[in-house]
Structure 1
Amino acid sequence: MTTIKPLSDLTIAQQAEMLPVKEIAEKLGLQEDDLDLYGKYKAKLSFDVIDRMATREDGKLILVTAINPTPAGEGKSTVTVGLGQALNQLDKQAIVCLREPSLGPTMGLKGGAAGGGFSQVLPMEDINLHFTGDMHAITAAHNTISAMLDNHLHQGNDLGIDVRKIVWKRVLDLNDRALRHVTIGLGGSAHGVPREEGFDITVASEIMAILCLADSLTDLEARIKRIVVAYDRDNEPITAEQIGAAGAATLLLKEAFKPNLVQTLEQTPALVHGGPFANIAHGCNSLIATKTALKLGEYVVTEAGFGADLGAEKFCHIKSRIGKLNPDAVVLVATVRALKMHGGVAKDQLHVENVGAVGNGLKLLAKHVETMGKLGLPTVVALNRFNSDTAEELAAVLDWCEANHIRVALSEVWSNGGQGGRALAEAVIDTIESNESSFTPLYALTDSIEQKILTIAREVYGAADVTFTATAKKQMAQIEANGWQSLPICMAKTPFSLSDDPTKLGYQHGFTVTVRELKPSVGAGFLVALTGNVLTMPGLPKQPAALNMGIDETGKAIGLF
């Protein structure tokens, strides 16, 4: 029997018929004058649109999250796009809000973030590569601050900066492990002050977090001014404003701050804007895009990075707090493949039916459903179907959800687009209409730093306790001395496990989380608690995706997923 190879995401995207972005805007009641066009199929929304819509009533906000990710894949972005398409098929005015992909994962191992199959955002090639240049603007703004900082040192260091206490690195939007630790300023006095330096990936930059949490250009500049770049010899913080870099950095971000309008494969409007990682930052698309979408659409479908223990937790405690958002429902994505991996099956054995392993993995799903319930959020489980799933395995999940009174729907949006998400869309609509969200954060901003972290670890991860290294305790005291203790917490943790150990898959409980460092992101407005070995500059794998990429004789991309 001949096996028919499924079409690649890239082929499906290249064969799709796109509408001019002006027509997508018209679906939202916008005109060409409301857009800054980037070619025929991409545009940025003007600030006039954002200001004009401010008094409109908000639509319903749907947050898509997932169980802890595995190499088997969950398809969270695909479900987000497919659900938006399905809602529009049900005659609802839906808008999809996604993050912009980083070039690092695109060229590396993870792949892009534009959905997949017949539930993608388009133009997929552009979105996964340079798009409208937002990543480059963020890189330039961040490195402008770096250059201004080193120039201040070179020109006499009037602020008395301690070169051993510079906390502002440089950034690059690629996976490049060779740049994690570097030495700069070599070659003599004309070339700067020699010191140790390092690079983070652009999406780990505080500038990225700021762009995604600011609600106006004025707020954007105010946050950039507050960025702590170093400490002086008396251990007092030095800010971007003090070295004179805030204005130039804001200027470089002026266009990048405008949300990007594109479309899905079924011409559903999509705002793709901002892209902080969820393991080292807050992992959500820009606040300004989400708030604008809520004014333009009846339903807004957005996602938070990685699993519910990271992106969804931060959506609730950071983004929703800062933006005064109130999620109406959560869609929790799970797959048979991922449940089997969390149930103890090796990746190379996932094709073999194993209902018992699915059952073991369901303990993890139960924990995430429980966490969303603690936050007061009505939840629908989306069982995202893969071709290798057997009827018995799918039934094990569906029957378990029914027995535990958990709303569930099968999602087939990868293969069938919006049509494959209609059951999920109907379940979400019914959940929103019959269950009023009682969203309540799990901790108060007035709680101590230690108590906030302990609450997240116990209530969201299932930990028994948290320990702090001597370094973290010293940093905590300094944060309190500077008056920053009332900021929310951004946990930097492995996405693969509920614990801080990436090798411990599946349901975990009763463990201890170790916080090794605490870093204030004063401009963004949160405190980063680092656990485990979370890298802020990833490296490329042995066989990076970039090896397969190129163009054909007509200039079309090849090898891009």
Structure 2
Amino acid sequence: MSSDIEIAQQAKLAPIEQIAEKLGIPQDTIELYGKYKAKIALSENEKSSLGKLILVTSINPTPAGEGKTTVSIGLADGLNQLHKNAVLALREPSLGPVMGLKGGATGGGHSQVLPMEDINLHFTGDIHAITTTNNALSALIDNHIHQGNELGIDPQQVIWKRSLDLNDRELRHTVVGLGNKAQGVPREEGFDITVASEIMAVLCLASDLMDLKARLAKIVIGYTYQNEPVTVRDLQVEGALALLLKDAIKPNLVQTLEQTPAFIHGGPFANIAHGCNSVTATKTALRLGDYAVTEAGFGADLGAEKFLDLKVPNLGKAPDVVVMVATVRALKMHGGLAIDQLANENLAALEKGFANLKKHIKNMQNYGMPVVVAINEFAADRESEFALLQELCRKEGVTAVRSSAWENGGVGAQELASTVVDVIAEKKADYQRLYLNRLPLEDKIKKIAQTIYGARDVSFEKKAKKQLKDFKELGWDQLPICIAKTQYSLSDDANLLGAPRDFDLTVREIMPKMGAGFLVVLTGNVLTMPGLPKRPAALDMDVDAAGNASGLF
């Protein structure tokens, strides 16, 4: 059986100009990055009406695998095989998980976006530009303090962190400015992974370059000795930061194995950020296709909730349908089965684990979203298990459709594509946000925890309690909420699988992200700088004398 990279390397790609032409994009508005990658001028964002929006999400991820991106790509290919003019809009992969444990974000098998090596590595340099912009701000902050500190910034209250697009646990807590006076002002510091940076969130939510610059200006970098917030506007560097991002904000155009157009742009994690690709990429896909297929990171409790409560108000368009990806294997694991037992038929574990999928379905229906369940097939799955899962979904009022996109590409997702088209035509979405921004900050956090996660209550640690009070005084309590928690469970405890009950969500800190326009609520032991596993994926990677990659999935 060929690996993902072998399948990708054997594929015949169309010149990217042909993909752009298929979408009606004029040649003089694309910027080529080699033969098979291009950036699209944002002016292309301003024409024609919007198509139908399909949001792909999933159950809570497990080591058994769910394949959300694979299903998304297969669905778009399947729609185009049905002559439905579909366009993909996905996130860019981060080098952290690519070289760590999770892997890349270009799909798998015969349902991939190409060129997969480029996309999974440096691509068009967007994430590097975000890293540089983030760290330029850090350098400017420390230089301001060193050069006389006109703004009276308290070095011990600088909340802006440096970033790196790698999993590096050694950088979670650092000290900078060591040495003599000429080396800077010593203070504690830390690094976030780039995809958790507010710069990433700002780029993904900005509507254009000027909106990007305005959002950058609002970023809070720390506080003065009098506990007054200090912003990028106070430092007068928003222009320089926007300049570093002037190309990165443009959506990237690539293609699938079946030459479906795909915009791959922006890559915030859903467990520590808002988990959606850029507004500019999604809107471009909506304007150039009759159907735009996009996905939100991790499970529906994180990615989909944030898509619906944070991205939709910025996008100005709600999904017409939600596709919920699940696998028999993962649901049996949520039902208590060990990973080495997943190949065995176990209907009892499947039915027990269905509680996780059921909760996510109910959550999406609470937003007024029609739901279709996509069962991503694995070779060891049994017909009896498929039948049970489809019957359980039917009892919840949703259709569950099998997808073999990994093995068969768009052909394997045609039934799913047809079902999605029918549901959009027959069931009108009635989108409604989970909460109003004017609700008290504590109530908004509890609303998400109790409604989406199923928590009994929310517990606020001492630091978070003080921030609730401080943020209300600053007027920040009117912002929406981005909860950072483990992706593996509906709770903030990664070990609680299925649909746990009678748990309390623990909030330890609240971070202002004024440029992004939300508050990040840190819960449990979630980390904004991951670490590498005992055996990272990087150990299997190599390149030959001709520059051909191997071991990249």
- TM-score (structure 2 length as normaliser): 0.99
- Give the aligned residue type for 1:19: A
SS in 1 for 2:294: strand
2:21 to 17, 26, 31: 26
- Give the aligned residue type for 1:529: V
- Write the deviation string for residues 462-508 of structure 1: whole angstroms up to 9, x where unpaired: 11211211211111111111111111100001111111111101111
- Asked whether 1:426 is paired with 2:451, we answer no
- Write the deviation string for residues 231-271 of structure 1: whole angstroms up to 9, x where unpaired: 00111000112122211111000000000000000000000
1:127 to 119, 122, 126: 119
Partner of 1:446: 438
SS in 2 for 1:501: coil
- Give the aligned residue type for 1:30: I
- Write the deviation string for residues 36-95 of structure 1: whole angstroms up to 9, x where unpaired: 0000000000133224x2xx2110000000000001110000000000000000001100
- Asked whether 1:10 is paired with 2:2, we answer no
Shift of residue 385, structure 1, vs aligned partner: 0.4
% identity of equivalent residues: 60
Partner of 1:3: none
Cα distance between partner residues in 1 of 2:53 and 2:261: 15
- Asked whether 1:315 is paired with 2:307, we answer yes
- Asked whether 1:140 is paired with 2:132, we answer yes
1:338 to 322, 330, 336: 330
Shift of residue 459, structure 1, vs aligned partner: 1.1
SS in 1 for 2:361: helix
- Give the aligned residue type for 1:191: Q
- Asked whether 1:45 is paired with 2:40, we answer yes
Shift of residue 348, structure 1, vs aligned partner: 1.7
SS in 2 for 1:282: coil
SS in 1 for 2:55: strand
Cα distance between partner residues in 2 of 1:391 and 1:323: 40
Cα distance between partner residues in 2 of 1:446 and 1:282: 20
2:546 to 534, 551, 554: 554
2:466 to 474, 477, 487: 474
Query: Are the counterparts in 1 of residues 93 and 105 from structure 2 also a CA contact under 8 Å?
Result: yes
Query: Are the counterparts in 2 of residues 145 and 246 from structure 1 also a CA contact under 8 Å?
Result: no
- Asked whether 1:116 is paired with 2:111, we answer no
Shift of residue 124, structure 1, vs aligned partner: 0.3
Partner of 2:185: 193
- Asked whether 1:99 is paired with 2:70, we answer no
- Asked whether 1:291 is paired with 2:286, we answer no
Query: Are the counterparts in 1 of residues 77 and 410 from structure 2 also a CA contact under 8 Å?
Result: yes
Partner of 2:294: 302
- Give the aligned residue type for 2:13: M
Query: Are the counterparts in 2 of residues 144 and 245 from structure 1 also a CA contact under 8 Å?
Result: no
Query: Are the counterparts in 2 of residues 148 and 244 from structure 1 also a CA contact under 8 Å?
Result: no
Query: Are the counterparts in 2 of residues 72 and 338 from structure 1 also a CA contact under 8 Å?
Result: yes
Partner of 2:363: 371
Partner of 2:257: 265
Cα distance between partner residues in 1 of 2:377 and 2:42: 40
Indicate the RMSD between aligned Cα atoms, in angstroms. Answer: 0.8
Cα distance between partner residues in 2 of 1:404 and 1:535: 35
SS in 2 for 1:113: coil
Query: Are the counterparts in 1 of residues 358 and 396 from structure 2 also a CA contact under 8 Å?
Result: no
Cα distance between partner residues in 2 of 1:477 and 1:190: 39
Query: Are the counterparts in 1 of residues 390 and 399 from structure 2 also a CA contact under 8 Å?
Result: no
Shift of residue 224, structure 1, vs aligned partner: 0.4
Cα distance between partner residues in 1 of 2:469 and 2:292: 41
Query: Are the counterparts in 2 of residues 22 and 31 from structure 1 also a CA contact under 8 Å?
Result: no
Pairs aligned (count): 553
- Write the deviation string for residues 178-206 of structure 1: whole angstroms up to 9, x where unpaired: 11111111121111111111111100000
- Write the deviation string for residues 293-339 of structure 1: whole angstroms up to 9, x where unpaired: 11100000000000000000000000001222211000000001100
